[in-house]
């Protein structure tokens, strides 16, 4: 998100980047069409260039002799490999590689330590809040008491304090304004949104006017996580909305379906109150007032549809009458019947009616994640309370009803929820206790039902070798421990698993775009998704067979065509590479005579009318998407999935060499664990806290020859 095309601000930078490219990329065969774009653009047709990030004049230049000389206006600058990466100006619609830059991570001043993207200093003296704030300002330019604006920063700082100074209290930069219990960050005046109050703590509005980190807060309860799933944004009023403007368009009915693809609980936006209407309209006006990104100055569909030709509208989700309205003067007035409603950017997002087969962008909403009642903790999409007292099943059920409206003993209806609750209990519950669930037996037949709904208990997780006694066992409890393996669904919504184990998704004609738009659309569906790529003949056969069996009727593929995949042409060579890593496409399945497009830099697509063999097309052709995402981990016997990796905890102490050899025997490419990211360190530490001997999990140094317990990892992709 902080990256851009490279910009050169000093002679040292110019020499540094040019020398680096010459040393590493002097073989120009890997640069299609010469070399990459940089961030300089021409001011009209003046041959004067500016840096696009801030419109400052390009002072340090490295033009090839005779350049810039392109007769067109508003050109871009590129670095030509064949001329030792000197600069040439080229029309900005030319297809060229990119050369991106990212600001380096911070180099911290003396006494500070880098944690993530921030530098922290831990003080040794106890002083008041004002003195602490002044001291930070003296230690470093713009130094200040720590301000925690994101969950990521809160997590990283907590882990840092646990490791370095767990017994002290530390001031942070939050201070109260007046006596209203509302806290703001001192440097910016922004409200403290993400909070982590000590359990049961209530500030005294008369005396408590600043905030500190309490030494006992080793495991923080995060109380204000983002309430919207990717790619939705939260409005100031708390609605979760998403519109990619011109990238995703369709008829009203297609738009409704597109929302469901983005999130299974999503739909076109509906307004139930005047506050909601004002909130969203203001949000769009502030963020999207430039209508150039809305096609033809228009705007997106919302979820209102006309009843016949009456100019009366209802919300499609429940057929309720639209009470809160915001029509452009003279609207609705479309002569057609059963119209849809849209928000018009050129009329400050007031409403207009349009025939429902009009192609317009989408504006989707999803229900925000729940805010949990007091004493409950949010886990996934539900709120949970872990009790401290042992009671019988009926009393437990009654107690849950008292704690919260519609409260009930936990009912585990999905594998995902079972996984989340078990992990939550491992981290927060007492490992010596059993917990009631809402499952009860009907009669004496070993058949169990969820008490609130009467639905049968289908997804189960009986303790190893356990068999219930029909005469006495009439309810179900969660025993301590973690007897199950990784049973989570392999593919995230809306992706489907092929017989060969790939997770793919294509909505056929519902979502279409150019090759670049298709790649972006995949990222909307899942942040780790991309256009489909084939690395082996087995993958190719698996997906092609899956599409042929499920989508042999080409009527849903526009014009008998099919979807984009992730292969792009190198120049005009008819040689293709996979876009994710620029590796050569080795496994191919071209229609006879293909690739044959005369244009350069084409994309590859799968043609339904030719049983999903491949054809090359110009990348600005509008076609459906075919996205993939990495399947979730499937682990071998004895291993457990943690994140994207499989781990095995050994019970026998061995020397380092023997332990390494043992891991390699257990699984293909098995090895002693290697922790390369903060995320992995966190996950493995939590895994060991719940499953391993706590006395064995701290890092230390030792000769390889002594014996220690084995902890192996294996990559599921190798299995």
Section 317-329 average pLDDT: 93
Task: Count the Cβ atoms, other than its own, within 10 Å of residue 649.
Answer: 17
> What CA–CA distance (Å, rounded) separates 221 from 49?
51
- Tens of pLDDT along 347-368? 889 999 999 999 899 999 998 8
Task: Count the Cβ atoms, other than its own, within 10 Å of residue 222.
Answer: 14
> What CA–CA distance (Å, rounded) separates 69 from 707?
71
Tell me what percent of the residues of the chain surpass a pLDDT of 90: 29
463 in any annotated domain: yes
Q: What is the pLDDT of residue 696?
A: 55
Q: Are residues 623 and 644 in the same domain?
A: no
pLDDT surpassing 80 at residue 309: yes
From the list 227, 226, 145, the residue with the least C-alpha distance to 188 is 145
Task: Count the Cβ atoms, other than its own, within 10 Å of residue 218.
Answer: 11
Q: Are residues 300 and 207 in the same domain?
A: no
Q: Are residues 355 and 334 in the same domain?
A: yes
485 in any annotated domain: no
- Tens of pLDDT along 533-558? 999 999 999 999 998 888 767 877 87
The CATH number of the domain where 462 resides is what? 3.10.100.10
227 in any annotated domain: no
Token pair of 336 as six digits: 């057609």
- Beta strands of 543-661 (E only): which ranges? 564-569, 576-578, 583-584, 603-607, 613-617, 623-624, 627-629, 640-642, 645-654
> What CA–CA distance (Å, rounded) separates 491 from 497?
6
207 in any annotated domain: yes
Q: What is the pLDDT of residue 488?
A: 41
Q: Are residues 299 and 328 in the same domain?
A: yes
Q: Are residues 395 and 515 in the same domain?
A: no
Q: Are residues 58 and 30 in the same domain?
A: yes
CB 136 within 8 A of CB 121: yes
From the list 539, 636, 545, 634, the residue with the least C-alpha distance to 578 is 539
Section 634-639 average pLDDT: 76
109 in any annotated domain: no
Three-state secondary structure call for residue 522: helix
Q: Are residues 313 and 360 in the same domain?
A: yes
* Banded model confidence at residue 281, pLDDT cuts 50, 70, 90: very high
Q: Are residues 248 and 344 in the same domain?
A: yes
- Tens of pLDDT along 73-85? 899 999 999 899 9
Q: What is the pLDDT of residue 468?
A: 60
Q: What is the pLDDT of residue 346?
A: 87
- Distance, C-alpha 267 to centroid of its chain: 19
Q: Are residues 213 and 274 in the same domain?
A: no
Q: Are residues 597 and 647 in the same domain?
A: no
- Long-range CB contacts (within 8 A, 24+) of 290-297: 291/345, 291/346, 293/245, 293/246, 294/245, 294/246, 294/345, 294/361, 295/245, 295/246, 295/249, 295/360, 295/361, 297/345, 297/346
Q: The tokens 């950017």 sit on which residue?
A: 345
Q: Are residues 362 and 413 in the same domain?
A: no
Query: Which of 444, 478, 512 is the last residue before a domain boundary?
Result: 478
634 in any annotated domain: no
Determine the structural domain holding residue 430 and report its residue range.
385-478
- Tens of pLDDT along 462-520? 654 555 665 566 667 676 554 333 334 578 778 888 988 899 998 877 788 899 999 98
Q: What is the pLDDT of residue 654?
A: 82
Q: The tokens 């992995």 sit on which residue?
A: 680
Tell me what percent of the residues of the chain surpass a pLDDT of 70: 81
CB 143 within 8 A of CB 136: yes
553 in any annotated domain: yes
CA angle (178, 184, 187) in 5-degree steps: 115
Query: How many structural domains compose the chain?
Result: 6
377 in any annotated domain: no
Q: What is the chain's mean pLDDT, rounded?
A: 81
Q: What is the pLDDT of residue 215?
A: 47
> What CA–CA distance (Å, rounded) separates 239 from 232?
9
Query: Which of 221, 253, 284 is the last residue before a domain boundary?
Result: 221
- Tens of pLDDT along 19-48? 999 888 777 877 766 789 999 999 888 999
> What CA–CA distance (Å, rounded) separates 626 from 531?
6
Q: Are residues 22 and 42 in the same domain?
A: yes
- Tens of pLDDT along 661-699? 888 888 878 899 988 765 677 677 777 776 766 555 445
């Amino acid at each position: 998100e902080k990256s851009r095309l490279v910009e050169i601000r000093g002679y040292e930078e110019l020499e540094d980047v040019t020398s680096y490219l010459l040393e590493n990329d002097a073989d120009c065969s890997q640069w299609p069409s010469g070399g990459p774009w940089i961030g300089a653009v021409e001011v009209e047709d003046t041959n004067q260039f500016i840096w696009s990030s801030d419109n400052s004049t390009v002072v340090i230049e490295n033009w090839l002799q005779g350049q810039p000389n392109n007769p067109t206006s508003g050109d871009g600058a590129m670095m030509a490999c064949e001329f030792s990466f000197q600069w040439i100006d080229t029309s900005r619609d030319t297809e060229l590689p990119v050369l991106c830059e990212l600001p380096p991570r911070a180099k911290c001043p003396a006494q500070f330590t880098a944690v993530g993207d921030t530098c922290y200093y831990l003080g040794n003296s106890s002083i008041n809040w004002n003195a602490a704030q002044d001291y930070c300002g003296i230690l470093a330019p713009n130094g200040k008491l720590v301000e925690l604006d994101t969950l990521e920063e809160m997590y990283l700082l907590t882990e840092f304090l646990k490791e370095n100074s767990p017994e002290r209290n530390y001031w942070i930069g939050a201070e109260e304004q007046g006596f209203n219990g509302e806290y703001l960050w001192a440097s910016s005046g922004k409200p403290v949104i993400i909070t982590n109050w000590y359990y049961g703590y209530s500030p005294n509005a008369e005396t408590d006017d600043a905030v500190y980190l309490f030494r006992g807060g080793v495991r923080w309860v995060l109380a204000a996580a983002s309430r919207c799933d990717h790619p939705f944004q939260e409005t100031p009023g708390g609605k979760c909305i998403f519109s990619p403007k011109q990238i995703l368009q369709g008829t009203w009915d297609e738009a409704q379906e597109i929302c469901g693809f983005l999130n299974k609980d999503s739909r076109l936006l509906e307004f139930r109150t005047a506050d909601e209407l004002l909130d969203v309209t203001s949000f769009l006006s502030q963020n999207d007032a430039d209508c150039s990104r809305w096609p033809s100055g228009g705007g997106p569909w919302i979820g209102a549809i006309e009843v016949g030709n009456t100019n009366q509208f209802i919300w499609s989700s429940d057929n309720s009458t639209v009470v809160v309205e915001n029509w452009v003067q003279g609207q609705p007035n479309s002569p057609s019947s059963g119209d849809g409603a849209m928000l018009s950017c050129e009329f400050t997002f007031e409403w207009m009616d349009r025939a429902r087969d009009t192609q317009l962008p989408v504006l989707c909403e999803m229900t925000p994640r729940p805010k949990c009642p007091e004493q409950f903790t949010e886990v996934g999409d539900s709120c949970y309370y872990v009790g401290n007292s042992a009671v019988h099943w009926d009393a437990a059920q009654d107690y849950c009803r008292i704690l919260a409206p519609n409260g009930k003993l936990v009912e585990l209806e999905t594998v995902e929820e079972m996984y989340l609750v078990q992990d939550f209990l491992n981290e927060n519950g007492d490992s010596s206790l059993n917990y009631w669930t809402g499952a009860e037996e009907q009669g004496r037949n070993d058949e169990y039902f969820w008490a609130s709904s009467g639905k049968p208990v289908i997804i189960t997780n009986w303790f190893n070798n356990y068999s219930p006694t029909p005469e006495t066992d009439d309810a179900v409890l969660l025993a301590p421990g973690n007897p199950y393996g990784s049973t989570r669904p392999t593919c995230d919504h809306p992706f489907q698993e092929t017989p060969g184990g790939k997770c793919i998704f294509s909505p056929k004609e519902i979502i279409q775009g150019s090759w670049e738009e298709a790649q972006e659309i995949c990222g909307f569906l899942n942040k780790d998704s991309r256009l489909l790529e084939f690395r082996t003949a087995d993958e190719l056969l698996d997906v092609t067979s899956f599409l042929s069996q499920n989508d042999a009727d080409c009527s849903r593929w526009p014009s008998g065509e099919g979807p984009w995949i992730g292969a792009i042409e190198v120049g005009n060579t008819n040689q293709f590479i996979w876009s994710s890593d620029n590796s050569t496409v080795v496994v191919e399945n071209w229609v006879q005579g293909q690739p044959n497009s005369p244009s350069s830099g084409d994309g590859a697509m799968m043609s339904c009318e030719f049983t999903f063999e491949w054809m090359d097309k110009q990348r600005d052709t509008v076609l459906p998407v075919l996205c993939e995402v990495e399947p979730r981990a499937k682990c071998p016997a004895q291993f457990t999935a943690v994140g994207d990796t499989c781990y095995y905890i050994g019970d026998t102490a061995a020397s380092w060499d023997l332990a390494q050899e043992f891991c390699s025997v257990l699984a293909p490419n098995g090895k002693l664990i290697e922790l390369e990211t903060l995320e992995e360190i966190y996950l493995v530490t939590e895994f060991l806290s719940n499953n391993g001997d706590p006395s064995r999990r701290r890092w230390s140094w030792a000769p390889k020859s002594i014996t220690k317990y084995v902890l192996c990892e294996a990559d599921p992709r190798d299995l």
